[in-house]
Amino acid sequence: MSESSSSVSRKSGLPPGSLVHVGEVLATETRVSVVDYTTERSREFVARSIDEITRYRDTGSVIWVNVEGLINVELIEAIGQQFDIHPLVLEDILNTQQRPKFEQYDEYLFLVFKVIYPADDGVSVNYEQVSILILDDYVFTFKEKQDDIFEPIKARLRNHKGRYRSLGADYLAYAILDTVVDLYLSLQDYMDELIESVEEDLLASPGTETLATIQRIRRELIFIRRSSAPLRELLNGILRSDSLLIGDGTLIYFRDVHDHVLRVTDAFDTYRDMVTGLLDIYNSTISNRMNEIMKVLTVFASIFIPLTFITGIYGMNFAYMPELGWKWSYPLLWVGFILIPVILLVYFKRKKWL
Amino acid sequence: MSESSSSVSRKSGLPPGSLVHVGEVLATETRVSVVDYTTERSREFVARSIDEITRYRDTGSVIWVNVEGLINVELIEAIGQQFDIHPLVLEDILNTQQRPKFEQYDEYLFLVFKVIYPADDGVSVNYEQVSILILDDYVFTFKEKQDDIFEPIKARLRNHKGRYRSLGADYLAYAILDTVVDLYLSLQDYMDELIESVEEDLLASPGTETLATIQRIRRELIFIRRSSAPLRELLNGILRSDSLLIGDGTLIYFRDVHDHVLRVTDAFDTYRDMVTGLLDIYNSTISNRMNEIMKVLTVFASIFIPLTFITGIYGMNFAYMPELGWKWSYPLLWVGFILIPVILLVYFKRKKWL
Amino acid sequence: MSESSSSVSRKSGLPPGSLVHVGEVLATETRVSVVDYTTERSREFVARSIDEITRYRDTGSVIWVNVEGLINVELIEAIGQQFDIHPLVLEDILNTQQRPKFEQYDEYLFLVFKVIYPADDGVSVNYEQVSILILDDYVFTFKEKQDDIFEPIKARLRNHKGRYRSLGADYLAYAILDTVVDLYLSLQDYMDELIESVEEDLLASPGTETLATIQRIRRELIFIRRSSAPLRELLNGILRSDSLLIGDGTLIYFRDVHDHVLRVTDAFDTYRDMVTGLLDIYNSTISNRMNEIMKVLTVFASIFIPLTFITGIYGMNFAYMPELGWKWSYPLLWVGFILIPVILLVYFKRKKWL
Amino acid sequence: MSESSSSVSRKSGLPPGSLVHVGEVLATETRVSVVDYTTERSREFVARSIDEITRYRDTGSVIWVNVEGLINVELIEAIGQQFDIHPLVLEDILNTQQRPKFEQYDEYLFLVFKVIYPADDGVSVNYEQVSILILDDYVFTFKEKQDDIFEPIKARLRNHKGRYRSLGADYLAYAILDTVVDLYLSLQDYMDELIESVEEDLLASPGTETLATIQRIRRELIFIRRSSAPLRELLNGILRSDSLLIGDGTLIYFRDVHDHVLRVTDAFDTYRDMVTGLLDIYNSTISNRMNEIMKVLTVFASIFIPLTFITGIYGMNFAYMPELGWKWSYPLLWVGFILIPVILLVYFKRKKWL
Amino acid sequence: MSESSSSVSRKSGLPPGSLVHVGEVLATETRVSVVDYTTERSREFVARSIDEITRYRDTGSVIWVNVEGLINVELIEAIGQQFDIHPLVLEDILNTQQRPKFEQYDEYLFLVFKVIYPADDGVSVNYEQVSILILDDYVFTFKEKQDDIFEPIKARLRNHKGRYRSLGADYLAYAILDTVVDLYLSLQDYMDELIESVEEDLLASPGTETLATIQRIRRELIFIRRSSAPLRELLNGILRSDSLLIGDGTLIYFRDVHDHVLRVTDAFDTYRDMVTGLLDIYNSTISNRMNEIMKVLTVFASIFIPLTFITGIYGMNFAYMPELGWKWSYPLLWVGFILIPVILLVYFKRKKWL
């Protein structure tokens, strides 16, 4: 949450095209891990210089360069120069407040989007921007921080299981995107559980902390929808693209990711209605409770206030109050003290207050 | 309901293309019933092996293979291999959290959607995912569980009534879709009744359980709309499709289904407004009732509090209180005790509180 | 209202294409009135058999067959066979829960829509489904019940006033549609009056019956909008249609109907906002009234409760209460009894409570 | 307001094409003023017969015929015959409940829209329907009543200032439309002021009349939006029209009007949000005030009710109440009478009630 | 805010095409600063006459003319004449209530939009209209007032850093637009902070001033959205334009601005939801608090009112009240005085009121 409200405009005032990391710094160093694989073999290593990255060009293997942490601007600039990437693309990679988008260039494709998944603590959500550059035999991924969200892909490349290693850079890009959309699906699970727990709270005993949770869900949803909705457009862009960088055989896989994205965004759209529903229930419950409280007050007050008035009468000290001297006054009054409440209680019962 | 909140992402972490049943398991075994019919004859049996399914290929008859229960992944994989179905389609069949969609392949058409209908108990709703593969002379249906929703179609094929047996696989597919949309219509009936009963409750005596029912309807509607809205798109896809698998004569029938789908989705869209209306009425009723309660309290308190004050005055023990000794004090006070309430009651009457 | 919630799905389970009357039966018999007219003459009679209908074919006159009551399925089937109407169209005519639509066939045009108009009792609304088949020289109208909504058209055909008799079947179809849209305009009048009367009630003395009326209007509007909104599409379909059955000269008349439909649907769309507004006013009024009630209670309680406390003090029976013996205690207390309310009243006045 | 709710359907039952004035009669006579101008000269007169209008045909001048009051149906029929106007257009001119629209005919263009502007009294709004017929050298305007909204245009034609007189009928039509849209802009001013004054009221002392004003604004806005929204479409129609009656040089002026219309309709769309906002503030203010009232009641009651109970105890007449005889009972009690309120006040202070 | 509600229609009544400054006058004089630069050199000066502006025509340099203050209508008219600008464009420049738009002319491009940025005081927002004319080698910017929002661009032109000076007028126009959109991004920051501070207030102690702030944010947002939403269209216009005035190499930069605009408008759209959320929380909090208050009142009243009634009984002065003489009456009563509150408190505890 705090991320989104941080310095959106930190770069304002700089000339366009200046390469500066814009956004919260989520990693203090830049780690570049490379996977270089062909159908036959697969190799993983951590690159320390730009040479280690460019060395494998045109060797017929697919090279996946995963850059984690965006603090090393020089490195990203060097990659840009070596692979002839447009300065505005490099700028977009470094600015972590991008709107998800797909851009097609002659020599490469550029994708940028948010990865959102529930944090391990179970109460918060992790945000991270990921950019992908798809070249002929290179795939670059740029991430804001070091984590293991791409670990499953690496594992599969390592074990040469599945179609992974036999297919090209486009299939690797698909696998990355698919992994990311799966994280959105787990976010959907997380949201489902959160909303369900709030619903249970509402039926049991809604309090101010329930209200705070509803508000938190609403805010999270606003950010999640803002990040996920443009994914539809992004995938549409890929599906309609005529780039040779994506093979015909791989397009069907992107279509599958597109279906998943539609499912996720459909779900997030309906969550909005659900949260409104939660708030409605909360408010109705509060009103109901107020009614209960008022009923109790009214029943107590309506019964005892008239009785107290009666006692008041015979507490007066007038010299001439004949009833005071009668023998049956007091017992008769007790009859009234019992009858009046009974009558009123029957009346309230009829009004369905009790 | 619980289904939707179950493990959406159970498959996260698996490589794409792995065939695994994703979703709640609704049937413990997989039952394959086959109907093989031509204009002249019709035969029904339960297939135990893949051979019993493939045996009838190219015999000129239409073969409907109805797979109930998705636990037998091997069988579905075998069907995929025998009929050359794309692995992603098989994956979609096995993943029961699909968004309804229509996909056109060269050799077959793929449809997946939800069947929703009121349960026999009258208070809950059954969800089930159904996938249809339409080949030249085969129609495969994959269902999550064993039930009799397709029984009417089978009955008609058996009795060779109607146009059923004289028309091809595309007409069978239409009949299945039509049956499913009819179930949505019965769901509409069910919702109409539910909403009407809530309306009656609201006029009679709305309580917290009414609120719970409204919330339940709202949640059901969200899921129903999420499942039914993409049906429009699905039917549109079929109508615009140029596949040779759907004959020109059959298209008009799909257009008819399309009309029904529009009717159903129109209705479900308006239910949203209705539920909002129910909640508005509920809240207004609660407010009204609070007003009633407060009026009673105010009338009681406003009448008796001043009177009690007066009795308090003459209950004081001052040595010099001349009124205490007067003969007509007490009777006069009684005049006040009667007049003050009368005046106040007239005042409240004028304010239309009584 | 009740109609809409009746058996939407009565037909579920029947094979598609079976001719059955679906929906509430609004007429116990089927009455077929025929108007056969040319520029020169006009003849009206009630047809008893299918022959009386088909007899005039190709005689150069325009024949309008008005079928009222849908219970005689055989007759409609006979018309279908004689004029070669597609079974699905006949099905749609018999199913009175159709979504309004326009369908173009080679030999005929098919229109189905709802007629809605205020009932004579002034408090309810009449619903009826009307289907129109436009052939070269025949116009068939199918209505659910016998009423006189088409009487003005017949009157004009009779009196050979206007352009009616000189123009063909397409112009007759236009005249029918125009009459129907005029009924919608009268419905708009009726709604305007209803909403205005509720507004007046709200300003005067809103009660629970006002709330019930608002809810009733809301429900009516949902059904009216559901029935009228697709009329736009229907007219658009006619205007964009390239059928030779509608002459170029007549198209401009349909465009005029289209304008009216837009006006009607615009109005019904804004009524939704108005009803929401009514409810808002209702709720605010209830809140306002609650405020009034609470003010009265608070003013009474705040003034008399402290005074009663004071009387309580001097009603105590302590042996040593020097004030009780003082001569001016009682008169001084009276000063307090007058001053305290005055001060509090000024305070409440300042708070604008009085 | 009342206009809109008047007899929308007065014409129902009449054959289409009958020329009848439909709508409220706003002028008891029809006044026809003519301006006949060329670049060199300009002449104004009031026409008494159709001849005076047609006489200037083909003289090379532009003739503007401004018909005020629609009661003289014969005149409008005569114009229709003389200038060969389609009967449906004449009908639309006479029916003052038209939806704004633009229609292109071979020989003329037809525009109909509403003019809305704040009345001189500053509290209400004037509605009037204006139709324009643009012919080659004639411009007809039909207004519901006599007023001076077109006075500025006449003044400029008179003084031969601006480009007015040198340009043709299309430019005159533009000038009329521009004047009308300027009136909408003044309506926007008026609405701005109205909303601002309500906002000030809300902060000062909202009462039921504020609520009534908000409701009035809402209703006005519904009608204004219904009248102004179709203007976008109308202008779009003109801009996309390929009619030779509008010169290329004039089109840019209509584009300018289109921009203004977008500005006006944008503004009216946002007013809806504003009014919702006003109502929200109103309701929240009422709730706030209720809170204030309840706090006062609660503070008074909570302080004095316990104290009164204590005085009640020692007002009892038991024979054995040792405290009554103690010397320090009464002064000690006074300590309690002072301490208890102090403690409660501190408690309420902490709760931020005071 | 006040600006928007000022005289929208001050010009109503003037003939179209009259050059008059419409809108609030934000600068009392017109200041024309010129930057004339080529790749090699850059010169800045303040122009005092139209000659100083036109002198550099066709010298191969790019000339940026920044006009601040619109009071000098003659100057703008002179520029219009010298550079052959359409009168309607000049009118639009002078009317500061334009809807943002892009217009393509043969010889120049015209852009007009609002610049909105947080004022230095941190509580208000600055509005200003900026128009841009892009010619072959001239760029004109017209601003309502003198400020330093374009200072960063000038600084960069001065220091010949970046690509600025080597690229043409189109790139300069891009730089200006980019600067403006960056200001919107800083506005987004400002709004984020404002909303966050309100949220904190809501959790701490919401009062009427919180409500006023929410209303203020809502109003600001309405105006911001009205000003920013058309920017999407404006940029789309530029991107789709086929004007030779924008080079192919520069288009990609405008695409980048377009992405930023989408981000900004997405954010402002979601703020609407957020503000609704804030108000919901506010109202729920008020309701909650009312509940708290009522609970306190009810607990106090329900406990002490019955007790006071009991004291009332034994305060009566009947001659025959046997209990008064009993020795244990008074102590027993005290047991009741302690037990009754304990029982009630346990009851309230169970109801979760305490």
Q: What is the pLDDT of residues A56-85, one digit of tens each?
A: 887 888 999 999 999 899 999 999 999 999
Query: What are E17's two structure tokens?
Result: 């095409």
Element (H, E) at B65: strand B62-68
d(CA C188, CA C269): 11
Q: In DSSP terms, which residues pair with A141 in a beta bridge?
A: A66, A132
pLDDT of residue A18: 65
Interface contact E203, partner D, CB < 8 A: no
What is the distance of C-alpha B349 from the center of its chain?
48
Chain B residues with CB-CB distance to C92 below 8 A: 256, 259
Task: With CB atoms and an 8 Å threshold, state whether C351 touches D101.
Answer: no
Tokens 């002064």, residue located: D331
d(CA B175, CA B169): 10
| Cβ pair D147, D172 in contact under 8 A | no
Q: C218 vs chain B: nearest CA distance in angstroms? A: 8
Nearest neighbour of B311 by CB, restricted to A161, A283, A312: A312
Task: With CB atoms and an 8 Å threshold, state whether E317 touches A317.
Answer: yes
d(CA A283, CA E287): 8
d(CA A182, CA D11): 62
pLDDT of residue B212: 87
Mutate to test the interface with E, among A232, A296, A335 (most CBs of E within 10 A): A296
Task: With CB atoms and an 8 Å threshold, state whether D175 touches E99.
Answer: no
pLDDT of residue B55: 86
Q: Which residue of E has its CA nearest to D156?
A: E15
User: Tens digit of pLDDT for each residue in A169-193?
Assistant: 999 999 999 999 999 999 999 999 9
Chain C residues with CB-CB distance to D324 below 8 A: 317-319
- HSE, side-chain direction, 13 A CA sphere, residue E246: 22
Query: What are A98's two structure tokens?
Result: 């991008």
pLDDT band for position E166 (50/70/90)? confident
Q: Which residue of B has its CA nearest to A181?
A: B12
Nearest neighbour of D215 by CB, restricted to C253, C262, C281: C281
Q: A354 vs chain E: nearest CA distance in angstroms? A: 14
Chain B residues with CB-CB distance to C97 below 8 A: 263
Against chain C, the chains showing at least 3 CB pairs within 8 Å are: B, D
Nearest neighbour of B284 by CB, restricted to C9, C282, C315: C282
d(CA B138, CA D112): 60
User: Tens digit of pLDDT for each residue in E219-265?
Assistant: 899 989 999 999 999 999 999 998 989 988 889 999 999 999 999 99
d(CA C63, CA C138): 5
pLDDT of residue D23: 78
Percent of chain D with pLDDT over 90: 52
Q: Please count the residue pairs, one from chain D and one from chain E, whose beta carbons lie less than 8 angstroms apart.
A: 159
Interface contact D281, partner E, CB < 8 A: yes
Task: With CB atoms and an 8 Å threshold, state whether E321 touches A315.
Answer: no
User: Tens digit of pLDDT for each residue in C188-244?
Assistant: 999 999 999 998 888 777 878 888 889 889 989 998 999 999 999 999 999 999 898
Nearest neighbour of A312 by CB, restricted to B91, B92, B315: B315
Phi-psi category of residue C122: left, alpha or beta, with phi > 0 → left and psi -120 to 50 → alpha: left
* Closest C-alpha to D175, from E19, E94, E77, E17: E17
Task: With CB atoms and an 8 Å threshold, state whether A300 touches E295.
Answer: no
Interface contact A293, partner E, CB < 8 A: yes
Q: A333 vs chain B: nearest CA distance in angstroms? A: 16
Greater model confidence, D56 or B105: B105
Q: What is the pTM of this model?
A: 0.85
Task: With CB atoms and an 8 Å threshold, state whether B192 touches C4.
Answer: yes
Chain A residues with CB-CB distance to E315 below 8 A: 311, 315
Interface contact B219, partner A, CB < 8 A: yes
E348 has a pLDDT exceeding 80: yes
User: Tens digit of pLDDT for each residue in A121-162?
Assistant: 877 889 899 999 999 999 999 999 998 899 989 988 887 656
Task: With CB atoms and an 8 Å threshold, state whether C320 touches D305.
Answer: no
User: Tens digit of pLDDT for each residue in B325-351?
Assistant: 898 899 999 999 999 999 999 999 988
Interface contact A189, partner B, CB < 8 A: yes
DSSP reduced 3-state for A143: strand
Task: With CB atoms and an 8 Å threshold, state whether C218 touches B273.
Answer: yes
The predicted complex's ipTM stands at 0.80
pLDDT of residue E123: 78
Interface contact B292, partner A, CB < 8 A: yes
pLDDT band for position E160 (50/70/90)? low
Find residues 145-164 of chain D whose CB sits inside 8 Å of chain E: 152, 156, 161-164
Mutate to test the interface with E, among A24, A302, A304, A334 (most CBs of E within 10 A): A304
Helices (H), chain A: 50-54, 73-82, 87-94, 151-158, 169-204, 208-240, 248-313, 329-350
Interface contact A8, partner E, CB < 8 A: yes
Task: With CB atoms and an 8 Å threshold, state whether E215 touches D174.
Answer: no
pLDDT of residue C10: 47
pLDDT of residue E3: 40
Query: What are B28's two structure tokens?
Result: 């413990």
| Cβ pair C117, C149 in contact under 8 A | yes
Against chain D, the chains showing at least 3 CB pairs within 8 Å are: C, E
B9 has a pLDDT exceeding 60: no
Mean pLDDT confidence for D296-309? 92
Nearest neighbour of D182 by CB, restricted to E9, E316, E326: E9
| Cβ pair A42, A35 in contact under 8 A | yes
pLDDT of residue A165: 72
Greater model confidence, B26 or C82: C82
DSSP reduced 3-state for E112: strand
Q: Which residue of A has its CA nearest to E303?
A: A300
User: Tens digit of pLDDT for each residue in D50-82?
Assistant: 888 888 887 888 999 999 999 899 999 999 999
pLDDT of residue C39: 83
Mean pLDDT confidence for D138-142? 95
Interface contact E321, partner A, CB < 8 A: yes
Mutate to test the interface with E, among D165, D178, D269, D318 (most CBs of E within 10 A): D318
DSSP reduced 3-state for C44: strand
B8 has a pLDDT exceeding 50: no
Nearest neighbour of E317 by CB, restricted to A13, A315, A326: A315
- HSE, side-chain direction, 13 A CA sphere, residue A278: 29
Against chain E, the chains showing at least 3 CB pairs within 8 Å are: A, D
User: Tens digit of pLDDT for each residue in C36-63?
Assistant: 998 888 889 999 888 888 888 878 889 9
Chain C residues with CB-CB distance to D209 below 8 A: none
User: Tens digit of pLDDT for each residue in A26-65?
Assistant: 788 899 999 999 888 888 999 988 888 888 887 888 999 9
| Cβ pair D86, D105 in contact under 8 A | yes
pLDDT of residue D229: 92
